[in-house]
Amino acid sequence: MAPVEVRDLSKRFGDFAAVKSLSFDIEAGRVTGFLGPNGAGKSTTLRALLGLVRPSSGSATFGGMRYEELERPGTRVGAVLEDASFHPGRSARNHLRVLAATAGHPAGRVEAVLATVGLTDAADRRIKGYSMGMRQRLAIAAALLGDPPVLILDEPANGLDPPGISWLRGLLREQAAAGRAVLVSSHVLAEVAQTVDDVIVIADGELRAQGPLDQVLGGDDGPATEVRAHDPVRLGEALRRCGHRVERNGDVLHVLGATPEQVGEIAGREQVAVLGLAPRARSLEEAFLSLTGARA
């Protein structure tokens, strides 16, 4: 049994379907990126996982149990959602002490998680004086208090500067290396591409792809070629007949699954004049955009 299992999860708001029959697993020891453009349904799904949104149908379970059924949920799942809020007059150390006492976590966890997120030296300052990055660290510290095997973070890179993002990447890798199942959402692939092992890609509430990052967004399409042709429509049709995927942008064709040599031969047979021909590396970002149907 995977530490997190989502099955046929759907959520409607009135007659708007925000999440449509999503199914996926999250594995221990791996960072899973939950990716999709704005409005794709990421936060709704994560809130449904955490019992904050009631699914219209389907389920999300942790070791077979829904979040609401977990005894001491903080020891099973740690989460940072978009709207983390703090008592502004408290220090980070006191904030965490209160949380630990309320949830029955050992007091020693407070110092441990402060160290994990690098807040030990700032821990006695009032939270109202904290920067956005420090608040994000504190929210993560709170999620880790119960030493949970599952960590869920909704857009944790939002508002972080480049050093903050690079710190976050390191933290996510460390948490997975410690054996946790880490689920991190983002609408910006570049923020997480270097960090994630697996990805789940959604758009319009629907699952578009899932699996290891390389397999889903990487070079599994094989070679790709960019060709500029005198008659791009005719060449495009010929390439498609030969089984290649073709995207047209003006008189330039992006051909997936074909080398320049193959494209050149097909153009020769069709007697279409080729004005330019080059191999092309398809970036992760392009693969992501084409999967989610969004355009940069």
Ligand X SMILES: Nc1ncnc2c1ncn2[C@@H]1O[C@H](COP(=O)(O)OP(=O)(O)OP(=O)(O)O)[C@@H](O)[C@H]1O
Footprint of Mg ion (CB under 5 A): 42-43
- Residues in contact with ligand X by CB under 6 A are 13, 16, 18, 36, 38-44, 187
Residue number, 61 or 185, with CB nearest to ligand X: 185
Residue number, 58 or 63, with CB nearest to ligand X: 58
194 binds, among ligand X, Mg ion, none (CB under 5 to 8 A by kind): none
Nearest distance from C-beta of residue 164 to ligand X, angstroms: 19
Residue number, 16 or 249, with CB nearest to ligand X: 16
Nearest distance from C-beta of residue 42 to Mg ion, angstroms: 5
| In the complex, residue closest to Mg ion by CB | 43
Nearest distance from C-beta of residue 60 to ligand X, angstroms: 14
Strand order, beta sheet including 4-13:
16-26, 4-13, 57-62
Nearest distance from C-beta of residue 76 to ligand X, angstroms: 23
249 binds, among Mg ion, ligand X, none (CB under 5 to 8 A by kind): none
187 binds, among Mg ion, ligand X, none (CB under 5 to 8 A by kind): ligand X
